[in-house]
Amino acid sequence: MSVRWTRWAGLGAAIVLAAGATGGAPKAQDRIGAGALQAPELLADVSDHSIEITTDFTGTDLVVFGTVDRPGDIAVVVRGPAEQVVVRRKDRIAGIWVNRQSMVFADVPSFYSVATNHPIETFADQRMLQRQGIGLDNLRLRPVDAADASVAEIAEFREALIRAKQRDDVYGIGIGQVAVLNNRLFRTNIFFPANVPTGVYNVSVFLGLAGEEVPGFSTSFFVGKIGVGAEIFAFAQRHAAPYGILAILIAVSAGWLAAAAFRRA
């Protein structure tokens, strides 16, 4: 129990720091008694603004935390850098299953995770979910140039895309995973698997209240490779020809060494 409280205390300190940094947060005493009259307040931050993929990287957790000034529905949405994805469907041709129809989706988040404090269906403001694309049903995924595809077909391909991303552990929904303390402090852990896509991520936190528009809170963080792995990747991308030659030289010398070593043994 004490460990838990220390954690919350640490988070509290971090929130104070974060609030200080943004500069726009009211002083604690200002809110007392007057909270219900003021516009709802929402503040959030992440435990780390850069996730570093090192050679021994096996996935990591990121804590998203913040404050709200009244009870409500909290949704934490994390999106990875957008990518273009082609979805293909197999059909049977002459007894063999062959990729036939395909559909390209643009602006697909390479990572998508939603954490809420209670089930999405029970949110008071369902329109907010649609507007902000919160939850897999509301996630905006539209095909590029699919004029000749029926609505049912598009839905089928869209669902297949989500299924595939879920299999890769990069799309997830965590219901009840946002813990709220005294209707004020909230926190949630977002897990990033070892195959996490690299790039700039966006975290948005939404506070849903019945009949009231609350502006969401957004921040970003970066997922990148560092160390030897990053150097290898950058070299392979920027100097593809020398990289290829180096790869061959390494292989030739390794093969040579092995043969020489075993000859002596």
Q: Residue numbers of the site for other proteins (CB under 8 A)?
A: 53-59, 83-91, 95-99, 102, 104, 110, 157, 160-161, 163-165, 194-195, 197-198, 225, 228-230, 232-233, 236-237, 240-241, 243-248, 250-252, 254-256, 258-260, 262-263
Q: 83 vs 212, which CB is nearer to other proteins?
A: 83
Asked if residue 129 lies in contact with residue 138, where contact means CB atoms within 8 angstroms, the answer is: yes
Q: Which contiguous run of DSSP H or E holds residue 193? A: none
CB of 237 to other proteins, least distance (A): 6
Calpha distance 101→39 (Å, rounded): 50
CB of 44 to other proteins, least distance (A): 29
Q: 162 vs 185, which CB is nearer to other proteins?
A: 162
CB of 153 to other proteins, least distance (A): 12
Q: 39 vs 247, which CB is nearer to other proteins?
A: 247
Asked if residue 63 lies in contact with residue 70, where contact means CB atoms within 8 angstroms, the answer is: no
CB of 77 to other proteins, least distance (A): 21
Instruction: For helices 240-264 and 228-238, give the axis angle rounded to 10 degrees.
Output: 120
Q: Residue 176 region, left (φ>0) first, then alpha (ψ -120 to 50), else beta?
A: left
Calpha distance 256→195 (Å, rounded): 34
Q: 107 vs 121, which CB is nearer to other proteins?
A: 107
Q: Which two tokens stand for residue 111?
A: 């990572």
CB of 142 to other proteins, least distance (A): 15
Asked if residue 204 lies in contact with residue 220, where contact means CB atoms within 8 angstroms, the answer is: no
Q: 36 vs 241, which CB is nearer to other proteins?
A: 241
